[in-house]
Amino acid sequence: TQAIRDDDPVIFFEHKAMYDEEMEVPDEPYAIPFGEANVTREGDDVTIVAFGRMVNFANQAADSLAKHGITCTVVDPRTTSPLDTETILETVEETGRLVVVDEAHPRCGMAGDIAGLVAERAFDSLKAPIKLVTAPHAPVPFSPVLEDIYIPGVAKIEEAVRAVVAHDRKVAAE
């Protein structure tokens, strides 16, 4: 409803794969404010910033990683412009590590923009290189089987998180 109420032009994207998902919705009217991220879970080891459908995958990965003692903060920016840079930077400064998950290509997208933002404004807080989990730099396949392989999934997110957590522990041991 925020998009309808706003006097400025708004582009609204929704993911077709999320149409069947169930979630709680308030009974009373509500609006998600532009530029206000939603922190879906808090952790100490790594910040995962994810968009759209990837937020669910990031939370699933965080659930799995928690069983192995790795706790994740998951940030859903919800809007790209304005982008809640404050929340992203604060969580990265707390965890010292960042994994950005985006279903888009790795070039010219939000994953690269967020990585650049953090590298520019919170570089000294980083304990490990930033990892991007994105679709490959290739055309999107039209076969449902190939599309499932193409899209980043829970396993790829877990792999990236493990890599950034292991990086600074490996460096500290040297």
Q: Is the pTM of this model over 0.85?
A: yes
- pLDDT at 149 (0 to 100): 87
Residue 49, H or E segment: strand 46-50
Give dist(CA 169, CA 174) in Å, integer: 9
Name the β-bridge partners of 100.
49, 132
Both tokens assigned to 157: 């997110």
Determine the pLDDT at residue 171. Answer: 55
DSSP 34: T
Q: Say what the pLDDT of residue 126 is.
A: 97
Give the Cβ contact number of residue 26 at 10 Å: 6
35-173 has which fold?
Rossmann fold (3.40.50)
pLDDT tens, position by position, for the chain (174 residues)?
Answer: 566 677 777 666 666 665 577 767 778 877 778 889 999 999 999 999 999 899 999 999 999 999 999 999 999 999 898 999 999 999 999 999 999 999 998 888 999 999 999 999 999 999 999 999 999 988 888 888 888 889 899 999 999 999 999 987 665 555
- CA 100/CA 113 separation, integer angstroms: 10
* Domain range annotation of the chain: 35-173
